[in-house]
Copies of this chain bind each other. A is one copy, B any other.
Amino acid sequence: MSFSLQLADAVRRVGNPLCVGLDPRWESLPQLIRATYADGTLQGIAKAYEAFCIKVIQIVARRVAVVKPQAAFFEACGPDGFVALQNVLRAAKSYGLLTILDSKRGDIASTATAYAEAAFTGPQFEGRTLPVWGADSLTVNPYLGEDAVQPFLDTAKKSKKGVFILVRTSNLGSGLFQNLVSEGKPLYRHVAEAVARWNESTRNESGWGDVGAVIGATHPAELAELRSLLPHSWFLVPGFGAQGGTAEDVKPAFLKGGLGAVINSSRGITFPFPPEEPQWEKAIQNALEQTIAQLRSVAGN
């Protein structure tokens, strides 16, 4: 079953659009986990990240459809961090969650294929496929243009996986280039129109396609504008919570039945406690339920 269909099924099943972002940061981890793994090496830190993220996965598994590990924090631990990332992605799958690997990859030709195969299928060597990340979907940067995005689209299509193209990012300064107006339309709209085109050939019987768009919660007007331009694409909406986007802000992202968008919250769910809090799992559960209730009230699930 293709990614977009799986995502629609999963969001329908859990009845809410929350995506839990897994952005482990050493200084925010529970003191109890730090004390267990800290040994002054990157390997110790990577193991702490893995243990923490898998605990979060266990807490959220039956309540949400999808989790989004942020590759940068794992890369910060070097090769051991990537072992942790691999184990976190595997754990998410084993708990029945869909995964968005947030690594914002982008490059040309066979280089893009290498990234895409790593994300989805694993590369083919001597006729065998060797899995790497096994993600269900990947975030992709469009700056290099269509022929650079194509290998991601092709590899995703072959393996029934999804991509989320960066359209309008959630950061305060995202407009510097994304808002430049050309031919009467801002750059992000040109990118969105390309997403619409790329998505078209991936549409399945339910109407959804597997080429989605990243659009920040901090831009409610653009969410509404792009929702009507991209009626068949899933949106990944970052910037909710810690970055300032509210539940009301993300309302325009949804189509009927609360489908069409997943709203990411990272720190708001995973770090709603000071590191010394012994009841941190309970704090995560509470934050999770509050956020789900908030999002349900606007999504219409």
Binding site for B on A (CB under 8 A): 23, 25-26, 38, 40-42, 45, 70, 72-73, 75-80, 82-83, 86, 104-112, 114-115, 117-118, 123, 125-126, 128, 130, 132-133, 141-148, 166, 169-178, 180-183, 187, 190-191, 194
Contacts of A80 in B (CB 8 A): 79
Q: What are 13 A-B pairs with beta-carbon distances under 8 A?
A: A23-B111, A45-B125, A75-B114, A75-B115, A76-B115, A76-B118, A76-B132, A142-B177, A144-B171, A145-B175, A146-B176, A177-B191, A180-B182
Partner of A148, one of B125, B148, B174: B174
Contacts known (A148-B173, A177-B190); A70 close to B141, Cβ less than 8 A:
no
Contacts known (A82-B79, A109-B171, A169-B108); A128 close to B40, Cβ less than 8 A:
yes
Contacts known (A79-B79, A125-B26, A148-B174); A72 close to B115, Cβ less than 8 A:
yes
Q: Considering the chains assembled together, what is the distance between the CA atoms of A82 and B85 in angstroms?
A: 13
In the complex, residue of chain B having the shortest beta-carbon distance to the beta carbon of A130: B42
Q: Considering the chains assembled together, what is the distance between the CA atoms of A271 and B126 in angstroms?
A: 19
* Minimum CB–CB distance for A20 against chain B, Å: 16
- Is the Cβ of B108 less than 8 Å from the Cβ of A106? no
Contacts known (A106-B104, A180-B182); A75 close to B132, Cβ less than 8 A:
yes
In the complex, residue of chain B having the shortest beta-carbon distance to the beta carbon of A119: B75
For this chain, the copies found in one complex come to 2
The 6 closest A-B pairs by CB, nearest first: A147-B173, A145-B176, A180-B182, A79-B82, A72-B114, A108-B171
In the complex, residue of chain B having the shortest beta-carbon distance to the beta carbon of A267: B110
Q: Considering the chains assembled together, what is the distance between the CA atoms of A79 and B130 in angstroms?
A: 13
Partner of A182, one of B79, B141, B182: B182
Q: Considering the chains assembled together, what is the distance between the CA atoms of A299 and B72 in angstroms?
A: 38
Contacts of A25 in B (CB 8 A): 110
* Minimum CB–CB distance for A207 against chain B, Å: 26
Contacts known (A23-B111, A40-B128); A143 close to B177, Cβ less than 8 A:
yes
